[in-house]
Chains A and B, each alone.
Chain A
Amino acid sequence: GDSVTQMEGPVTLSEEAFLTINCTYTATGYPSLFWYVQYPGEGLQLLLKATKADDKGSNKGFEATYRKETTSFHLEKGSVQVSDSAVYFCALSGSWGKFQFGAGTQVVVTP
């Protein structure tokens, strides 16, 4: 079945550092890919998405490109801030909108 694998955390880095969170997937067909973020004390919210191969999703300085050849959707941000501290979930949407999520990667950004 469909599955998502993302790098384990926690990832700890200093403010203004470069962030990469790896995500790979296994799916039949052509899923849509998503990154969701959960800030402390809040629910998950959509960060960005890509619906077809080679699409790039971007939001709040984050980017991820849908790579069909490597079945990947890595999340990147060039310069993180303390406010980016959160748990990040990679996800795919298959048939009927059923989402598969990765285990989440906790990111801690220190001043």
Chain B
Amino acid sequence: EAGVTQFPSHSVIEKGQTVTLRCDPISGHDNLYWYRRVMGKEIKFLLHFVKESKQDESGMPNNRFLAERTGGTYSTLKVQPAELEDSGVYFCASSQNRLTTGELFFGEGSRLTVL
């Protein structure tokens, strides 16, 4: 069974440009999460999809970030325009079970560098 896949693995862009990160969750997982780790600090929650609906987007930093999940399958996270402080590793995770005991399955992350 394929795991969570993310693309690209690394993106280097200049301030003001746009970047789109993609995540393909494990097939059948209704729950999809985006997290971000900046400068070796804690991994911070960005948002949570249940199928195609946004369950919780309280962690989205500002309106430069837009997340979508088409048809409840893959998800994209767009940053437009990118700022220096957006640099970090963006992790996608999915889970089948919404209960608190559920395990998250992570992708390898997309490293974003904004110059």
B-binding residues in A (CB < 8 A): 4, 31-32, 34, 36, 41-46, 49, 51, 89, 91, 93-104
Name which of B13-21, B34-42, B65-73 contacts chain A: B34-42
Inter-chain contact A4/B103, CB cutoff 8 Å:
no
Partner of B100, one of A4, A36, A42, A94: A94
Count A-B contacts at CB 8 Å: 69
Question: In whole angstroms, what is the CA distance A86 to B41 when docked?
Answer: 15
Tell me whether A98 and B48 are in contact (CB under 8 A). Answer: yes
* Chain B contact patch, size range: 20 to 34
Q: A31-B100, A102-B42 are in contact. Are A97 and B108 (CB under 8 A)?
A: no
B74 on interface, CB distance cutoff 8 Å:
no
Contact residues in B for A94 (Cβ distance below 8 Å): 100
Contact B101–A93 (Cβ < 8 Å)? yes
A43-B4, A98-B56 given; 15 more Cβ-contact pairs under 8 Å: A36-B104, A43-B3, A43-B106, A51-B101, A93-B101, A95-B100, A96-B48, A96-B98, A97-B31, A97-B95, A97-B97, A97-B102, A101-B42, A102-B42, A104-B43
Q: Once bound together, how far apart are the Cα atoms of A81 and B106, in whole Å?
A: 24
Could you show 6 A-B contacts with beta carbons less than 8 Å apart? Answer: A36-B106, A42-B108, A97-B31, A99-B33, A99-B45, A101-B43
